[in-house]
Amino acid sequence: MRVVSNLSRGSLGFNMTPMIDVVFLLIIFFLVSSHLAQQETQLELDLPEATSGTRPTEDETRRVVVNVLPERKPEGRIMVAGRIMQEEELAELIRYEGEANRRLLQENPTAPPLEVRIRCDRKVPYSVVEPIMIACARQGVWKVTFAVAGN
């Protein structure tokens, strides 16, 4: 009778190729998304100056950055994520993000609320900013901040 020896078998090994592929894709995703997030705040706008207040800390808050351009282009003057959109499209985006945030808060009550940060040129009239604030209020997004230039 022949006795089976463990030495005659090859060693077991893991195929690392799929894991390396996934890690590589995650790295690319985070590089691209961080680049887009930086572009949102680097758009050249003549922000109003603040004489008081505190600098916000960058945390894990879900944030929608709304850039309001000084000149009106034919397609609009509101820009989100590098795309110019109309007031109706922005209201739909805020509605969608607000619903997603409400679901997140139901699952995790300690999660930070959704923030809408408005970056507006100082020459833009209030009548352009008001619909953005009304859309936030209608969707229950109460954390609305304004980006300003500090001294």
Q: What is the pLDDT of residues 27-84, one digit of tens each?
A: 888 887 776 655 555 566 767 677 777 777 766 778 888 888 887 766 678 888 778 8
Answer yes or no: is pLDDT of 136 > 60: yes
Are 77 and 127 spatial neighbours (Cβ–Cβ below 8 Å)? no
Dist CA 111 CA 101 (whole Å): 9
Answer yes or no: is pLDDT of 90 > 70: yes
Per-residue confidence (pLDDT) for residue 133, from 0 to 100: 92
Two tokens at 59?
A: 């945390």
Are 145 and 113 spatial neighbours (Cβ–Cβ below 8 Å)? no
Two tokens at 43?
A: 């758009």
Q: Would you place residue 134 in the very low, low, confident or very high pLDDT band (cuts 50, 70, 90)?
A: very high
Dist CA 72 CA 91 (whole Å): 19
Dist CA 119 CA 45 (whole Å): 8
Answer yes or no: is pLDDT of 88 > 60: yes
Q: Would you place residue 108 in the very low, low, confident or very high pLDDT band (cuts 50, 70, 90)?
A: confident
Per-residue confidence (pLDDT) for residue 10, from 0 to 100: 61
pTM score, two decimals?
A: 0.64
Two tokens at 142?
A: 């109460």
With a pLDDT cut of 70, the percent of the chain lying above it is 76
C-alpha pair distances (Å), 84 with each of 31, 35, 38, 89, 114? 23, 18, 17, 10, 21
What is the average pLDDT value for the chain, to the nearest integer? 79
